[in-house]
Amino acid sequence: MRLTSILLAVLALSIGPLCSASITGVAGGTPAPGATLGPYFMTPFPDEYRTGEVFDVDSPLGGQVFFFRELPSDPPTDPPTYTYSPLSLRINSPSSWTAIEHIYTGKVYFTQLSSPSSMRLTLPSNTVAFYFYATSNHTGDHDISATASGTSADGTSLTPESLTQGTDASHGASYYGFYAGSGESLTTIDLEVVGGPSWCDLNAGFTLGAFGIAIPGYAPPGSDVIVTDPETGTTISFETVTQGGQTTVTTSAPGQTQGPPAGFKLVTTP
């Protein structure tokens, strides 16, 4: 069976035609996220089950999103250079984050009282689209900038894309979405508090939640895709599993042992 043709068929059905050749940013404000971001079907992250402080969160499509903070080099250099150190974010209950209760009931991640004015999200390999909601830890209007970086298939760095939105921890977290073009992927997203009522509020830190992601090789949520191998006539059905957005491959030919396309689990029928 030609798994390459199967995978291509699934990709065509799952992500649709791609027109963009660079990173695109979408400033969505406070409304709930849509099912798609650009040409990609998005998979929301499941509710967080952990408590306490964490340095990363598992993606429902594999891999992790890691949290980092920016630290100046020691000794200082001119011009300044920075390194990235793991940043622990505390998990909190949704009742403490009224800014997003209208669209999201899961736990959120927030920096401590002595919060950094900037931080970085490192995304799983092959991420083509990612969204999140963000606000500051302090009440009052704050401007938060998010800058996404990525690479092309040959490893060339893409031109970063930035979004800046006003947020208020007591009134509404803002949606930040980024997606890459054909043959490209997102690698990091840098966040920075760039404006607030006073200088000290630039150190207000961040509260994040309601993540969503797209990685090629996964069928749209709730889809049933039927693919027939033109050489053997064998039919394979792709069904989205409810939990975690993973996709299961079921073949109608019993006893088959060939491996499935990357990202899929092969299950033979009785």
C-alpha distances (whole Å) from 220 to each of 20, 32, 36, 41 are 20, 19, 9, 6
Q: What pLDDT is stored for residue 136 in this prediction?
A: 76
This model's pTM is above 0.75: no
Amino acid at residue number 195: G
Q: What pLDDT is stored for residue 17 in this prediction?
A: 37
Residues 63-74 as b/e (b if ≥16 CB within 10 A, e otherwise) read bebbbbbbeeee
Q: What pLDDT is stored for residue 68 in this prediction?
A: 84
Q: What pLDDT is stored for residue 189 in this prediction?
A: 95
Q: What pLDDT is stored for residue 31 in this prediction?
A: 83
Check: CB of residue 258 under 8 Å from CB of residue 3. yes
Any idea what the Cα angle at residue 94 is, between residues 51 and 25, rounded to 5°?
Answer: 100
Residue 260 buriedness (CB in 10 A; 0-12 / 13-18 / 19+)? buried
Alpha-carbon span 76 to 231, nearest angstrom: 64
For every one of its 270 residues, what pLDDT tens digit does the chain have, with 9 covering 90 and above?
Answer: 433 333 333 333 344 334 345 899 999 887 888 888 998 888 899 888 887 788 889 998 889 999 887 666 666 666 656 566 777 766 665 555 555 555 666 778 877 645 567 788 999 999 999 999 988 766 666 788 999 999 998 889 999 999 998 776 556 688 999 999 988 999 999 988 776 544 444 456 778 889 999 988 654 444 454 544 555 655 555 444 433 333 444 444 444 433 344 334 333 332
Domains of the chain, residue spans: 16-214, 219-268
- Write the DSSP assignment of 62-129 as a string of letters: SSEEEEEEEEE-SS--SS--EEEEE--EEEE-GGG-GGGTTT--S-EEE--SS--SEEEEEPPTT--E
The CATH number of 16-214, from 3.40.50, 1.10.530, 3.30.420, 2.60.120, is: 2.60.120
